[in-house]
Amino acid sequence: MEKDDKGNFSAGKSSGEIDSTLEPLFKQNHPSENYSVLSAILPFLFPALGGLLYGYDIGATSCATISIESATLSGISWYNLSSVEIGLITSGSLYGALIGSVLAFNIADFLGRRRELILSSLLYLVGALVTAVAPDLIIMVIGRFVFGIGIGLAMHAAPMYIAETAASQIRGRLISLKEFFIVLGMVGGYGLGSLLVDLVAGWRYMYGASMPLAVIMGIGMWWLPASPRWLLLCAIQGKGDMQDLRETAISCLCRLRGEAIRDSAPEQVDEILAELAYVGDEKEATLGEMFHGKCLKALTIGAGLVLFQQITGQPSVLYYAASILQSAGFSEASDATRVSILLGLLKLIMTGVAVLVVDRLGRRPLLLGGVSGMVVSLLLLGSYYLFLDDAPAVAVVALLLYVGCYQLSFGPIGWLMISEIFPLRLRGRGLSIAVLVNFGSNALVTFAFSPLKALLGAALLFYIFGAIAVLSLIFIFFVVPETKGLSLEDIEAKLL
C-alpha cells in the first residue's frame, strides 16, 4: 500500500511485496529483538489460559449433556430436556461469545488488553460457578451465557496481548501456541468428562473444574504489566502525559522481555512512537474508518480468513467422525467421547507441528499447503458418500487428513493473522469484528448443517465445502500477505 498526498493508503503493490520506499523510515527492520525466554513464558501463559478454558468448555459440554439427560446420573428432576433445551445448553456459551465480541468493540481500547483479560477471567469464574450450582435450566443457561461472554472477550484480547508483547521472531510461534492450548483444553474436557460422566451430578463437577483455572488466569493477568504498545497508543492520542506513559511503557517492556532488553528498551519504545506517528495513529479510531483504505484491507484479510476457517466445513466434518470410524470397523471408537479424544490428540499433534514451523516457514506456505490438503480430503469425503461407501478406509484417511491439514493452516494461522494484521489504532475494534465473524459463522454453519444435509445429502454438501476451500485458496494466494519476522509496525506501514 502507498500513501497519497492526503496521507491515505491506496493499493500499490501485490499482497506479498514490500514498498522499498518506506525502508529508510525505520532504523531497523527488527530482524532480531532481544528477549529472555523465561520472561516470555508468563506473558504468553496467562492469556493463553483463556483459550484453554474455551477449549475445555467445548470438550466438557459434549460429556455434560450426556450426564444431564440421564435419569439416574443427572442428580436433578429436570433431566427430561427437549432438543431445543439441550441446544440452549450446548450453544449458550457460543451466543455469549457473540455478545462478548460485540462488547469488545466498544470497551477494548478503553480497558486495554490486560484489563479486558482480567474481566474475562472474572466472567469465566462467575459463569462456571452459576452453571455448576444451577438449580434449574434457566439459571444454567444464564451461567453458560455469562461464561460465553468471557470466551468472547478472552479470544479477542489474548491474541492482541500476546502479539503486542512478544518479540517479532517468536510472535507467530506464541500466538499459534494459543491454538495449541485451545485444543489441549478440548482434550482435557473430553478426558475429564469421560471420567466424571458416570458420577451422579457429574456435569456439575465438569463445569466447576474450570473455576481454578479462571482464578489463576485472573491473578496472572493482574500481576502482568499492560501492553507497552497500548500505552504508547494512549500517549500519542493524548490520553495521558506523554513522558509518564513512555516511562511506564519502558518499564513494562523490561518486565515482559527480561534483563536482555533493559539497555535497548528506551530506544525500542522511541522507535515504536515514531512509527505510530508516521502511520497516523494520533487520532482515535472511528467506526467508519474500518471500511476505508488500509483498514478495509486489514479487515478483508482478517475477517476473510476467519470466515473461510468456518465455512470450509470444520464443525460439520467433525460431526461425521463417529459414523466414519464406526463404518471402518472401529467399534470402540463409536463412543463419542473416545472418538473426540482420538481426534483431539491428532489436532494437538498437528497444532504442535504448526507451532514449531510457523516462524520458520511463514504464514502463507502453511495456509496454502494446509488448505490444499483440506480440498483433497473434502473431495474424498464427498466421493465416499457418493460412490465409495464400500471403502470406509478412504473416509478414515480423508477425515484424518482434513483434521491434520486444518490444524496446520486455518486453525492456528487464522488467529495469528487477525492478531497482527490490524493497525494498532484500530486493532481492538478490528479484532472484535473478526472474532464476531468467527463465532457468527461458526453458529451459522452449525445451525445450517442438519437442514442442508437433509436437503442436499452428505456427498454434495462435502463437495460444496471443497469448492469453498478452493475459493479460500484463491483468496489466500492473492490477498493474504506474509508477515513472518516483521514487527507489528512494519506490517502496518509496509504491507497494508
DSSP assignments along 290-349, one per residue: GGSHHHHHHHHHHHHHHHHHHHTSHHHHHHTHHHHHHHTT-SGGGSHHHHHHHHHHHHHH
Mean pLDDT, to the nearest integer, of 357-383? 93
Quick: pLDDT tens for 404-438: 999 999 989 988 898 888 887 778 888 888 888 98
CA 33/CA 39 separation, integer angstroms? 14
For domain 37-225+287-495, which architecture applies? Up-down Bundle (1.20)
Helix, strand, or coil here: 185? Answer: helix
Candidate from 127-131, 231-235, 382-386, 423-427 with smallest mean pLDDT: 423-427
Q: Are 58 and 282 within 8 A, CB to CB?
A: no
Name the least confident of 180-189, 248-257, 375-384.
Answer: 248-257
pLDDT band at 202 (very low <50, low <70, confident <90, very high): very high
Q: Which residues contact 321 (CB under 8 A, 6 or more apart)?
A: 339, 340, 343, 399
Is residue 32 predicted with pLDDT exceeding 60? Answer: no
Long-range CB contacts (within 8 A, 24+) of 130-133: 131/207, 132/204, 132/205, 132/207, 132/208, 132/211, 133/204
Q: Which positions ≥6 away from 199 have C-beta within 8 Å?
A: 67, 73, 205
Give every CB contact of residue 106 below 8 A, 6+ residues apart in sequence.
Answer: none
Lowest mean pLDDT among 318-332, 377-391, 482-496: 318-332
Summary mean pLDDT of the chain = 82
Residues 447-489: pLDDT tens digits? 777 788 888 888 898 999 999 999 999 999 999 999 888 877 7
Q: Is 457 left (phi over 0), alpha (psi -120 to 50) or beta?
A: left
Among residues 230, 194, 192, 224, which one has the least CA distance to residue 53? 192
DSSP code at position 226:
P
Torsion angles phi and psi, residue 315, rounded to 5: -65, -35
Is the confidence at residue 441, as pLDDT, over 70? yes
Position 12 confidence tier, pLDDT thresholds 50, 70, 90? very low
pTM of structure: 0.80
400 vs 25, residue with greater confidence: 400
Q: Which among 146-155, 263-272, 296-305 has the top mean pLDDT?
A: 146-155
Mean pLDDT check: name the lowest of 51-60, 299-308, 486-495.
486-495
What pLDDT is recorded for position 329? 62
Residue 97, CA distances (Å) to 351, 410, 418 in order: 23, 20, 17
Per domain, the residue ranges of the chain are: 37-225+287-495
CB atoms within 10 A of CB 105: 19
DSSP, collapsed to helix, strand or coil, labels residue 9 as strand
DSSP 10: E
Q: Which residues contact 75 (CB under 8 A, 6 or more apart)?
A: 200, 201, 204
pLDDT at 38 over 80: no
Q: Which three cell numbers stand for residue 437?
A: 465473524
Q: Which of 216, 234, 225 has the alpha carbon at shortest distance from 161?
A: 225
pLDDT at 8: 37
Residue type (1 letter), 190:
Y
